[in-house]
Amino acid sequence: MSTIFLKRFFKNPFQVASIVPSSKTLIRKVSDKMDHSVPRVIAEYGPGEGCHTREIVRRMHPESKLMLFELDQELSVHLEKQFAHDPRISVHNMDCAKLPEVLAQKQIPHCDYVVSGIPFSILEKGKKREILENTHAVLAPEAHSAFIIYQVTNELHTRGHCDHFEKAESQYCLANLPPMFVTKFYKHGSNGKNGKH
Ligand SMILES: C[S@@+](CC[C@H](N)C(=O)[O-])C[C@H]1O[C@@H](n2cnc3c(N)ncnc32)[C@H](O)[C@@H]1O
C-alpha cells in the first residue's frame, strides 16, 4: 500500500477521497481506452501518487506530452521526483480547471485525451461544470479525442453532466476497492449523440 497516499487522505479526506490507489485491473482498463500509436497530448487530473501515470508513461509514444494536475502539494512533489527524468511529463500543483491556461502558456492547441481520477461526485456544482466545460473545450475536434473517467458513481453520464460530449461508453470494474465505473466521453461520436450502454 502506498503510505504517502494514505497519509494525504488523512490530511485531506474530501479532496483525496480514497484510501488506496487504483487496482492494476482498473489501471489497465483506463489505459486501454487510449491509442498511443502516434504522439498524443494527454492531461491527467488527480494522479495522486501516480499509479495510472506510470502505466500511461509506459505505453505512450516517445513524442507524446503528459500534463499532470494534482492539487495536493506533497503528492505533486512526489510526482515531480518520480518523473523528473522524463521530459515528456510536466507536473502542475493546481486545480485541473486551469488546464486551458496551461495549454495556452505551452502554446499547445489541444489535448487528445484527458484522464480523470478526481472525485466529481463531491465537487461543488459550479466547479464541476467549470471543469467539464473546460475539458470539452480543450479536446481536439477529432473522432479519437476523449475524456476518460473512473468513478464510484456513474453520475456524470447518467445525470447528463456530460451531455455536451457526443458519445459515451461505460464499463464496470469490480476488481477495485471500491468497484468503479470507467467511462469514456468522446467529443465527437461517429455514432451520434448518447451512445449510452
Ligand atoms: C481518488 S484520488 C485518485 C488518485 C489516483 N489517480 C488513483 O487512481 O489512485 C483523487 C486525487 O485527485 C486530486 N484532486 C482532487 N480535486 C482535484 C482538482 N480539482 N484538481 C487536481 N487534482 C485534484 C486529489 O488530491 C487526489 O490526489
Query: Ligand 1: which of 118, 124, 182 to mutate, judged by most atoms within 8 Å of the beta carbon?
Result: 118
Q: Is residue 135 part of a domain?
A: yes
pLDDT of residue 194: 39
Which residue's C-alpha comes closest to atom 27 of ligand 1? Answer: 48
pTM of the predicted protein model: 0.94
Q: Residue 130's domain spans which residues?
A: 3-63+77-164
Question: What integer pLDDT is reported at residue 195 of this predicted model?
Answer: 39
Tell me the sheet residues that pair with 116. Answer: 45, 149
Cβ–Cβ under 8 Å, residues 75 and 46: no
Instruction: Give the model's pLDDT for residue 16.
Output: 80
Mean pLDDT split into 10-residue runs, the chain, 197 residues: 78 81 97 98 98 98 98 97 98 98 98 97 95 98 97 90 94 96 92 38
What are the C-alpha distances in Å from 164 to residues 45, 146, 147, 158, 182? 19, 12, 12, 13, 18
Ligand 1: residue whose CA is nearest its atom 19:
95
The pLDDT value recorded for residue 82 is 98
Q: Tens digit of pLDDT for each residue in 66-106?
A: 999 999 999 999 999 999 999 999 999 999 999 999 999 99
Is cis: bond before 62, omega within 30 of 0? no
Confidence at residue 192, expressed as pLDDT on a 0 to 100 scale: 38
Identify whether 90 is part of a domain: yes
In a domain, 15, yes or no: yes
If one counts the domains in the chain, the total is 1
Distance 150 CA to ligand 1 centre (A): 11
117 Cα to the center of ligand 1, angstroms: 5
In a domain, 183, yes or no: no
User: Does 122 map to a domain?
Assistant: yes
Among protein residues, the one with the nearest Cα to ligand 1's atom 23 is 46
Which atom in ligand 1 lies closest to the alpha carbon of residue 150? Answer: 8
* Residues sharing a CB contact under 8 Å with residue 57, sequence separation 6 or more, in sequence order: 66, 83, 86, 88, 89
How far is it, in rounded angstroms, from Cα 163 to Cα 160?
Answer: 5
**Is residue 190 a part of any domain in this protein?**
no
Considering only CA atoms, which residue is closest to atom 9 of ligand 1?
A: 21
Does residue 180 sit within a domain? no
Cα-to-centroid distance, 92 and ligand 1 (Å) = 12
For residue 185, the model assigns a pLDDT of 97
Q: What is the CATH number of the domain that holds 144?
A: 3.40.50.150
Closest CA to 34 of 55, 12, 5: 55
- If you take atom 8 of ligand 1, which residue's CA is the nearest one? 22
- In what side-by-side order are the strands of the sheet with 41-45? 89-92, 65-69, 41-45, 113-116, 146-151, 180-186, 167-173
Residues with CB under 6 A from ligand 1: 15-18, 21-22, 45-48, 51-52, 69-72, 75, 95-96, 117-119
pLDDT score at 44: 98
The pLDDT of residue 7: 83
Q: Whose CA is nearest to atom 6 of ligand 1?
A: 47
Question: Does 21 reside within a domain?
Answer: yes
Cell of 190: 461517429
Q: Which residue reads 501516480 in cell numbers?
A: 50
